[in-house]
Structure 1
Amino acid sequence: MTTDPAHARRGFPVSTTVQRRPQANHPEPPRRQRITISIYFVIAGAVMAVWGTRLPSVQARLHAGPGALSLGLLGAAAGMLVGLHIGGRLVDRIGPHRLVLPAALTLAATLALLGLPTTVTAFIAACTAFGAAHGLLDVAMNVAAARTQVAYGRPILQSIHATYSIGALLGAGAASLSAAAGIPSGRMFLGTAAVLAALLVLAPALDPLPCAPPALATGRGTARPRAVIIALGFLALCSLLGEGAAGDWSAIHLHTVLHASTALSATAYALYSGAMAICRLTGDKISTRIGPVAHVRAGGLLAAASLGVGLLIPHPAAALIGWTLFGAGLAGVVPAAVTAASTARPHRAGRDIAAISTTGYVGMVAGPAAIGAIATATNLTAALALPAVLALGVAVAATAVRPRKTTETPA
């Protein structure tokens, strides 16, 4: 094992650059390991997209109003937080390779269950189980991806996260086609679950890769791990609040404020998501070249400036460009935060990644509501300055992703 001074100077953890080949006790090649964990990300993205795309038909089948639907979504959010908490502890105890397959199979099973409820109470219960399974899978596959990155010997986490977006696009497309063909949502959920379960069973098993050792310091002094995790949680919150704002408010902003057509307004989130996926596919090379701190800082500045200008110029084209570059700027934030969390306290990486994921998802859920409240008191354009300001906060807090030496001992 050798160090790579160039990588160390750029701020990428030395521990992630020293292992160029799998060790003898890891028969699975890192490339196959990467493909396997990417399958899990694709499946997670596809499941969430199928569920979200067919949600209106579920609401119609239950004859549920907005209030009942909100309770179901709240149950899913609560279940996710519980799943993240439990999953973080389980991953640290038994390893992600033992949790990721049962968590993914459970997620597929709960998707099938979502097509069965005929009452609102059963719907809320199914949503809660679905959210819990997603939380378990989220933390397990992120820790597995971080360990795979270490074994791979260079940054790959952004491209792995990009496969989630690819899965979401595939799932949304399949769900839209099923809706156009008049296939009931319950049947669609069951069919999707069966296909994904078969894919999971056929996929190669994950290797029990070890924790990464604490990253060697490349900055000043020794950081307090708890403070680092809090800062990484802030980065995740800013990024996922921006994603929630794009998903819930971008089309409304174009349609109601800029008077764009419904069809044109709907492209805003698609452009945001597409830009994020493309930049994650290319982001690993950028992070390797300039370092994670510079990458996240530049992304935060791009996101803040592009959305700010897009809001200031009252024209649909400016808004669409703004939302597109906003997605491009935020693309690398969460993968960089997960990488840093996996090396800050390696032997409790599951709990730390669960903590920053929890903070991030709170931002995704609460952020759009906060924007709505601000818009009620002022106007929507002013309210959408919130994600732009928080993107600027990403640039300020970017040093949190710098690898730092810790003094922890295994728990």
Structure 2
Amino acid sequence: MTILQKRRLALGSLFFLAGLCFASWASRIPDIQLKFQLSEAQLGTLLLGLPVGSLVALPAAGFLVHRFGSRIVILMSGVGYLVFLPLIGFSPSVWILVPVVMIYGMIGNMMNISLNTQALGLEDEYGKSILASFHGLWSLAGFTGAGIGALMIYLNVLPGFHYLFISVIVVIVLLLAQGFIRSDLQNGGGGGGLVLKKPDGLLLRVGGIAFLGMMAEGCMFDWSGVYFKKVVQIEEGLVALGYVSFMGAMASGRFITDRIINKIGRLPLIRISGGLIFSGLIVSVLFPIPVVATIGFLLVGFGVAAIVPIAYSTAGRSKLYSPGVALAMVSTISFFGFLIGPPVIGYIAELSSLKTSFTLVALAGLGIVGLSSVRLGVFSE
């Protein structure tokens, strides 16, 4: 293996690790709810701690990556996973659990920004698109983490000891990978500092595309099962089919995204992706029968797959800001899409119907097509 290939393997293992840690936490949420006897509302408040922590960390993440380099932030975040994941499992009270979950959310976003900054530097050295494959590994880790979680539940392993097992994996991966994660302190041009400035035209456009993509992704994460149960009216044992088809398509789509980008370019693929999101949701709304709806959700998964990797890759090449700061800006904008999408679906469904909600989310796909088709000069500024 060449040194570039070794660095790609090391960085890929860290993306996988980040996805594994997130999925491991999520797989034991029902057990944590049971441990503390939380109501649905109380659990919802606890779960809000993760995105709140992520949002709080966004401005600082870009600054830290710019100031200290992505390597240092990656290693610090890895140590954070090592410490705070077991703390979630062993927390003796909700009063301790809530701030621990918030800090865990902060760590996750620090890792996200620093890993993507490092990946953009490696992508430049390769001279071709490779970022999406890293995001594919993150998605693949979600399936792996869910599988390990299911096994731990079957074996009656308490969440704290489950998380300790994951921490052992964190230590092994960090020790093996750290030698191939390079320092990039002198690598990024552009401005640094806390992300309190207005994004330029490029980052606003890319952020808007990522916002719409993440809004569709968040809705699919949270509402796929409900849609298949209430609208498609599939039998109880197959309620998760929509979610699994969406997730499977998104994960596999990310492994072929780079190849497609290298052949047709980023903007054409964004337009195709927006079209897939729109057509997949419209098909699912017009023909809410199991086979057709499943195909529709597959199309949405393939459509969502490329949006965030392309947005990050484009943002990281901003001429006005350093990669870490540019990524933090776009992440901030897109993150709101992920947060507000699911509750908006619920409010609209309450006023009208789930079909109406999903139709409006389908318009996000058309928005992506529009933003990537007009005033294209902004992408070369």
What TM-score range do you get, normalising by the shorter chain? over 0.9
Aligned to 2:172: 198
| Contact 2:73–2:114 under 8 Å retained in 1 | yes
Please point out which of 206, 211, 235 is paired with 2:187. 211
Answer with 185-194 or 331-340: which moved more.
185-194
2-structure distance, mates of 1:244, 1:402: 30
2-structure distance, mates of 1:263, 1:240: 28
In the TM superposition, residue 345 of structure 1 has moved relative to its aligned partner by 3.0
2-structure distance, mates of 1:85, 1:386: 31
Please point out which of 273, 285, 294 is paired with 1:299. 273
Aligned to 1:345: 319
Q: Which amino acid aligns with 1:70?
A: G
Scaled by the length of structure 1, what TM-score is found?
A: 0.86
In the TM superposition, residue 212 of structure 1 has moved relative to its aligned partner by 6.0
Aligned to 1:6: none
Secondary structure at 1:104's aligned position in 2? Answer: helix
| Contact 1:75–1:125 under 8 Å retained in 2 | yes
Secondary structure at 2:240's aligned position in 1? Answer: helix
In the TM superposition, residue 106 of structure 1 has moved relative to its aligned partner by 0.5
Aligned to 1:128: 102
2-structure distance, mates of 1:201, 1:362: 34
Secondary structure at 2:288's aligned position in 1? Answer: coil
In the TM superposition, residue 402 of structure 1 has moved relative to its aligned partner by 7.9
In the TM superposition, residue 225 of structure 1 has moved relative to its aligned partner by 6.5
1-structure distance, mates of 2:262, 2:376: 13
Answer with 88-97 or 197-206: which moved more.
197-206
In the TM superposition, residue 403 of structure 1 has moved relative to its aligned partner by 8.2
CA deviations 1:27-48 (Å, max 9, x no partner) are x822122111111110111111
Scaled by the length of structure 2, what TM-score is found?
A: 0.92
Please point out which of 373, 391, 394 is paired with 2:365. 391
Please point out which of 260, 267, 280 is paired with 1:286. 260
In the TM superposition, residue 405 of structure 1 has moved relative to its aligned partner by 4.7
2-structure distance, mates of 1:130, 1:185: 15
State yes or no: 1:380 paired with 2:354. yes
Please point out which of 49, 61, 65 is paired with 2:35. 61
CA deviations 1:80-120 (Å, max 9, x no partner) are 11222211111111211221111122023211110122322
Aligned to 1:409: none
| Contact 2:23–2:146 under 8 Å retained in 1 | yes
Q: 1:183 to 1:303 in 2, by over 3 A?
A: same
Q: 1:300 to 1:201 in 2, by over 3 A?
A: same
1-structure distance, mates of 2:121, 2:250: 23
State yes or no: 1:166 paired with 2:103. no
| Contact 1:212–1:346 under 8 Å retained in 2 | no
Between Structure 1 and Structure 2, the one with more helix by share is 2
Please point out which of 293, 297, 309 is paired with 1:319. 293
Q: Which amino acid aligns with 1:343?
A: R
Gaps in structure 2 of 5+ consecutive residues: 191-197
In the TM superposition, residue 262 of structure 1 has moved relative to its aligned partner by 2.5
| Contact 1:232–1:401 under 8 Å retained in 2 | no
Moved over 3 A (4+): 209-214, 399-406
Aligned to 2:193: none
| Contact 1:37–1:141 under 8 Å retained in 2 | yes
| Contact 1:211–1:346 under 8 Å retained in 2 | no
Please point out which of 6, 9, 30 is paired with 2:4. 30
| Contact 2:281–2:300 under 8 Å retained in 1 | yes
Gaps in structure 1 of 5+ consecutive residues: 1-27, 215-223, 407-411
1-structure distance, mates of 2:318, 2:27: 37
Q: Which amino acid aligns with 1:211?
A: N
Aligned to 2:159: 185
Secondary structure at 2:364's aligned position in 1? Answer: helix
CA deviations 1:3-40 (Å, max 9, x no partner) are xxxxxxxxxxxxxxxxxxxxxxxxx8221221111111
Q: Which amino acid aligns with 1:207?
A: R
1-structure distance, mates of 2:160, 2:377: 46
1-structure distance, mates of 2:83, 2:199: 37
2-structure distance, mates of 1:115, 1:288: 43
2-structure distance, mates of 1:142, 1:56: 31
Answer with 59-68 or 357-366: which moved more.
357-366
Q: Which amino acid aligns with 2:182?
A: D
Please point out which of 203, 209, 217 is paired with 1:243. 217
1-structure distance, mates of 2:380, 2:307: 21
State yes or no: 1:152 paired with 2:126. yes
